[in-house]
Amino acid sequence: MTEQDKEIKLVVVGSIGLDTIETPAERREDVLGGSVSYACAAASFFTTAGMVGVVGDDFPAAHRRVYERFGIDLAGLQQVPGRTFRWSGVYETDMNTRRTLSTELNVFADFSPDLPAHYRGSPFYFLANISPELQLHVLAQASNPLFVAADTMDLWIETARTPLLELIAKVNMLTLNDSEARQLTGEQNLVRAAERLLELGPDYIAVKKGEHGCILFSAAGICVIPAFPLAAFSDPTGAGDTFAGGFMGCLAREGAVRDASVRRALAYGSVVASFGVQAFGLDRLLALEPDEIEQRLDAFRRMTSIA
Amino acid sequence: MTEQDKEIKLVVVGSIGLDTIETPAERREDVLGGSVSYACAAASFFTTAGMVGVVGDDFPAAHRRVYERFGIDLAGLQQVPGRTFRWSGVYETDMNTRRTLSTELNVFADFSPDLPAHYRGSPFYFLANISPELQLHVLAQASNPLFVAADTMDLWIETARTPLLELIAKVNMLTLNDSEARQLTGEQNLVRAAERLLELGPDYIAVKKGEHGCILFSAAGICVIPAFPLAAFSDPTGAGDTFAGGFMGCLAREGAVRDASVRRALAYGSVVASFGVQAFGLDRLLALEPDEIEQRLDAFRRMTSIA
């Protein structure tokens, strides 16, 4: 069986970037990042994930080897002439406020996400934050999707509302942060905002609240998942994508989407994200052992259980 | 047995006020409020609470009857010549930001919280947000306290740090909000801030995060309790005191402070607070049935359980 024939359970589409990140403690240049990197790395603890993304001819071979160490399928990774997408930002003292210093789209500007043949039968898809037109383009290539989650952001809510609404009607789950849920619906109350979003089509709405965790809304009710409390963290970049990747990977491993599997997947996503922020980029996930995930999940269960 | 001889399980000391509250939907004048009102009303669902507070000769007899309907012991309620404490504030569109319009201390300026004789043997005390000097004054009157919780605020952290630290060293639990925990310790990270506060003496630190719930820290570890998600609420005034009152009432009912009883009490506190905000002042709590509390607690357990 060649690499191209591996059975892909989860396809992740989004950005790959070289990030320059400054925190109160440290500054790092050209850290391997982007939604695809974080989501695939997190998912790889649970399932076989394939990535769809684009990098330039400056993309270091060492970064490709990082992906390989996670066991990520790279058939959908396009390398084209030009420079890789770059982003730089700085975190303020409280680490909750992030300011973007620069964004260079580079080869990402002309990204056309095409699925390799052996990705098209995958049951699970995570369409990370790219334009809704591109997310729709990916979805059109999936032959028999069982569960599709899509992320979005304020930019698309403002500039691409029509294709975004078309996308939302076609996916099983929408992930977005609390301010975006309010912006998209015009509802200040998060529960009512989520109810409005459910009416647009998805079975699940995951509202991300950063350090305050995540609330999942569905016809079955509400699940509230806090973020795992940490005494120290280094770099919050990519936490939302790590959470989503862990969640989708866990669902893909179970192969079915039931209420219990969704709750468990939310908890695993939150736990993997809590490891991810403990170092810059993918460094902590690279050193992460499956046992550590299980131990922290047990601790998380104790922290959140009502006697 | 006269009313003065009732066995008091929980003593609550704090403010009683007539609040004028403006939300985007409605404006109400002279609503019965103050930390003692909210905390005692919430506690009354679980235990026999006695209040220590002061009102002026303008305090409506109808408000006293409201307390009586909750079964609150009023031996510690002082009525003196002058006007009752008054506060007015306005909630912004998102209901998360509150602006104080005016504060009139009136009779509250000379408040000396004295415990009636039959309160002094009470096992549980909630010292709501008053000056740490007054909180210490109350504590000195307790003959054999089993569990004392104290709340505080930014004003005392700024202006009365020495007595506040003396108080903190003497109580079993300190409740404060996240920004106050950071302010008091100089630690941005909440977990580290709570670790610093535990070193000052208390067994428990409860960090309140408003709509994001509460985190409890102790030597036994961390408990994370979200706020119950509501599709609509009318008036968040007093939510923190309602939470604390429900929590302390529930602990007092169990009579012992163990890890399991603390977790359960946190959940009950959160649930009772979620009812409290559904109407102005004490209106929703006045109509609340014990069955409703149990039903919402069951729903809360389902929302927060990890499969």
Other beta carbons within 10 Å of B192? 17
| The token pair that represents A177 in the structure block | 């942060």
Size of interface A-B (CB pairs under 8 A): 95
A-chain residues near B263 (CB < 8 A): 305-307
Could you write out the DSSP letters of every residue in chain B?
Answer: --GGGSPPSEEEE---EEEEEE-SS-EEEEEEESHHHHHHHHHTTTS-EEEEEEE-TT--HHHHHHHHHTT-EEEEEEE-SSPPPEEEEEE-TTSS-EEEEEEE-GGGGG------GGGTT-SEEEE-SS-HHHHHHHHHH-SS-SEEEEE--HHHHHH-HHHHHHHHHH-SEEEEEHHHHHHHH--SSHHHHHHHHHHTS-SEEEEE-GGG-EEEEETTEEEEEPPPP-S--S--TTHHHHHHHHHHHHHHHH-S--HHHHHHHHHHHHHHHHHHTTSSTTHHHHT--HHHHHHHHHHHHHHH---
Q: Which CATH architecture has domain A3-304?
A: 3-Layer(aba) Sandwich (3.40)
Best of A224, A295, A300 to disrupt the B interface (most B CBs within 10 Å) is A224
| Residue B271 confidence (pLDDT) above 60 | yes
What average pLDDT does this structure show over A184-201?
A: 97
In CATH, the number for domain B8-304 is: 3.40.1190.20
Query: Residue B175: beta bridge partners?
Result: B151, B206
Nearest CA of chain B to the CA of A78: how many Å?
A: 38
| Residue A259 confidence (pLDDT) above 90 | no
pLDDT reported for residue B5: 59
B-chain residues near A230 (CB < 8 A): 189, 191
B213–chain A Cβ distance below 8 A for any pair: yes
pLDDT reported for residue A169: 98
| Residue A241 confidence (pLDDT) above 90 | yes
A-chain residues near B299 (CB < 8 A): 221
What average pLDDT does this structure show over B164-174?
A: 98
A-chain residues near B251 (CB < 8 A): none
B264–chain A Cβ distance below 8 A for any pair: yes
Cα(A293)–Cα(B241) distance, integer angstroms: 37
| Nearest residue of B to residue A224, measured between CA atoms | B304
What average pLDDT does this structure show over A278-301?
A: 97
| The token pair that represents B58 in the structure block | 């303008």
pLDDT reported for residue B97: 85
Q: Residue A86 — φ and ψ, nearest 5°?
A: -130, 140
Name the residue facing B306 among A94, A192, A264 (closest C-beta).
A264
Contact assessment for residue B245 and residue B39, using Cβ atoms and an 8 Å cutoff: yes
Decide if A195 and B301 are in contact by the 8 Å CB cutoff.
Answer: no
Q: Of all residues in chain A, what percent carry a pLDDT higher than 70?
A: 98
Instruction: State pTM to two decimals.
Output: 0.93
Weakest-pLDDT range from A72-81, A205-214, B87-96, B201-210 = B87-96
| Residue B2 confidence (pLDDT) above 70 | no
| Residue A302 confidence (pLDDT) above 50 | yes
| Nearest residue of A to residue B182, measured between CA atoms | A94
Cα(A165)–Cα(A169) distance, integer angstroms: 6
Contact assessment for residue B167 and residue B132, using Cβ atoms and an 8 Å cutoff: yes
Provide the residue type at B238 as one letter: G
Kindly indicate the confidence band of residue A1, based on its pLDDT and cuts at 50, 70 and 90: very low
Length of chain A: 307
What average pLDDT does this structure show over A194-218?
A: 96
pLDDT digits (tens, 9 = 90+) for A37-64: 999 999 999 999 999 999 999 999 999 9
Decide if B229 and A213 are in contact by the 8 Å CB cutoff.
Answer: no
Per-residue CA distances from A26 to A29, A37, A93 (Å): 10, 21, 12
| Residue A307 confidence (pLDDT) above 80 | no
Decide if A300 and B306 are in contact by the 8 Å CB cutoff.
Answer: yes
B-chain residues near A300 (CB < 8 A): 306
| Residue B1 confidence (pLDDT) above 50 | no
Task: Share the mean pLDDT of chain B.
Answer: 95
pLDDT reported for residue B104: 95
B229–chain A Cβ distance below 8 A for any pair: yes
Name the residue facing A209 among B212, B260, B267 (closest C-beta).
B212
A-chain residues near B266 (CB < 8 A): 306
pLDDT reported for residue A5: 59
Nearest CA of chain B to the CA of A191: how many Å?
A: 5
pLDDT reported for residue B156: 96
B215–chain A Cβ distance below 8 A for any pair: yes
A-chain residues near B224 (CB < 8 A): 226, 229, 303-304
pLDDT digits (tens, 9 = 90+) for B22-58: 999 999 999 999 999 999 999 999 999 999 999 999 9
pLDDT reported for residue B96: 77
| The token pair that represents B190 in the structure block | 């909440």
